[in-house]
A and B are shown apart, each in its own frame.
Chain A
Amino acid sequence: MLGVPVGIGHRYGNRVLRTFLWVFDRLFRGFPVIVLLFLFYFGLGGLPGIRIPPFTAAVLALGLRSAAYQGQVFRGALGMVEHGQEEAARALGMHRGQTLLWILLPQAFRFSLPALANEYAVVLKDSALAFVVGVVELMSAGRFMATRNRDPLTAYLAVALLYWILTSGGVAVLRLLEHRTRIPGLGLERLRR
């Protein structure tokens, strides 16, 4: 959910904030997940005086990375809201903050739902990588099973099936949400013409 302020910052921030966000964006979208995980766990955890448990490191790395991606999604979504909407809100006497909160964000959120569903699937699958810094999750449980029973094939097939259920289930729920919150005439079909 950090993606929302990041997106707003991209679009409306001043130059300092935008430069900072540009670096943040490059860093978290340009580095592979594994490298980020290593940076947070071994890198930050290795600095004197800082101790980061594996779980925190994984959550920080995956969360901040996802925030960078979601920021881009929201930036695009805010750009898709028609300009007249903002002008109309201002003409009705709302100030900039109100316009953003009550007029632009609800619409931008609807535009961004499909991309957010995508992002959910990506984060879920990347969470499998958390085991390299020692978090016990689905993947490492599968690895444990594989070594104990000496049967990697079945173990990893089971893990794959579980991940598949999680991703398709989650994406289906988000699609339902997309359907529920749709406003006829104001959706993407307006752009398609």
Chain B
Amino acid sequence: MSFLNAQTLRELAIGLQMTVLLIVLSAPLGLAVGCVVAWTGVYAPLPLRWGSHIYRSALRGTPLLVQLFLLYYGLPRFGFVLSPLTAAVLGFSLCSGAYHAEYLRAALLSIPESQFEAARALGLSRRSALLRVVFPQALRRALPGCTNEVVYLVKYSSLAYLVTLVELTGAGRLIAYRTFRFFEVFLIVGVIYLMLVAVVAAGAAWVERRVALERTPEPGVMRDRPIGRPSGHGASLRRRRRVQNMS
């Protein structure tokens, strides 16, 4: 392991920083794009809905790499010269937005109509009924799919090195070419990605626990449990305990 000296470690650390920066920028942007596209795909007037469909189909049907190349090498023809970082972040956000949109759209469609009707009956306007009643529930349902998509994003952030951005994979490649220790270097890079994925997955599990609703008991299921004891798990239970402790 003689190639693991201070210099290569520093290079790997810089690469890791760039990868983390890519993820931190692209993940929320992607989710935002996904929300907008999903919303137009379900509630917007018809031509816009087609637009949303074409967007999703096109970005999910072509490789991310081709999209990145189009942004980085193709756009200069129209006078838009993007820096590698901008091109990568834009490409990742647009692409993962299409996937987020697909999960969110399915979730929006799965919320029972009666929720919307009940909200309308209570006097909410159409917009706030959708925004405050239907959408939060859909977001909760789409969460597992969306966090999965963020995990994919971590791994696909390695494509950024192909538009000349030196992130973790790019740094690994430079070190490997200098030291000729391809196997060891890429194994280390892979393990770092594995750890990143583990961190993201743990964070996702935390968020999921945090926003989980106490499960509504089905009739018959609850009967053998003493009435009045909280049956839910996760955040609602913890919150309840905290309230009890305070009082």
Residue positions of A touching B, CB distance < 8 A: 26-27, 30-36, 38-39, 42-44, 46-47, 121, 125-126, 128-129, 132, 139, 142-143, 146, 151-153, 156-157, 159-160, 163-164, 167-168
* Pairwise interchain contact B189-A35, C-beta atoms closer than 8 A: yes
Task: Tell me which residues from 186 to 215 in chain B have a Cβ below 8 Å from any Cβ of chain A.
Answer: 186-187, 189-190, 193-194, 197
With beta carbons under 8 angstroms apart, the residue of A33, A46, A160 that contacts B62 is A160
**Other-chain contact of A128, B63, B70, B176, B182 (Cβ < 8 Å):** B63
Smallest CB separation, B55 vs chain A (Å)? 12
Asked, given contacts A39-B186, A160-B70, whether A32 binds B193 with beta carbons under 8 Å apart, the answer is yes
CB atoms of A46 and B183 under 8 A apart: yes
- Interface residues in B166-182 (C-beta closer than 8 Å to A): 169, 172-173, 176, 180, 182
Whether a CB of chain A sits under 8 angstroms from the CB of B77 is: yes
Q: Is the interface of B mostly helix, strand, loop or mixed?
A: helix
A38: nearest chain-B partner, CB-CB: B186
Contact A125 B158 (CB under 8 A): no
Q: What residues of A have a CB within 8 angstroms of the CB of B186 in the complex? A: 35, 38-39, 42-43
State in angstroms the CA–CA spacing of A163 and B162 once bound together: 19
CA separation between A35 and B193, bound complex, in Å?
Answer: 9
Q: Which residues of A contact B57 (CB under 8 A)?
A: 164, 168
- Chain B, residues 71-101, CB within 8 Å of chain A (1/0): the string is 0011101000000000000000000000000
Given A31, A34, A151, A160, which contacts B67 in the complex, CB threshold below 8 Å?
Answer: A160
CB within 8 Å for A167 and B74 given contacts A42-B186, A156-B69: no
A47 to B176, CA, bound (A): 14
Set of chain A residues within 8 Å of B70, measured between Cβ atoms: 152-153, 156-157, 160
Which residues of the other chain, B, contact A42 by a CB distance below 8 angstroms?
Answer: 176, 182-183, 186
Cβ contacts under 8 Å, B116 to chain A = none
Given contacts A30-B194, A46-B180, contact A168 B61 (CB under 8 A): yes
Complex CA distance for A44 and B184, rounded to whole angstroms: 10
B43 on the A face (CB < 8 A): no
Closest Cβ of chain B to A23, distance in Å, is: 11
Q: How far is the CB of A18 from chain B (nearest CB, A)?
A: 19
Bound Cα distance from A43 to B77, whole angstroms: 38
A125 touches B63 (CB 8 A): yes
Q: List 24 A-B contacts (CB under 8 A).
A: A27-B190, A30-B193, A31-B155, A32-B157, A32-B158, A34-B161, A34-B162, A38-B186, A39-B186, A43-B186, A46-B180, A121-B60, A125-B62, A125-B63, A128-B66, A139-B65, A146-B69, A151-B77, A153-B75, A156-B66, A157-B70, A160-B58, A160-B70, A164-B57
Residues from chain B with Cβ under 8 Å of A129 in the complex: 63, 65, 159
Instruction: Output the least CB separation between A33 and chain B (Å).
Output: 7
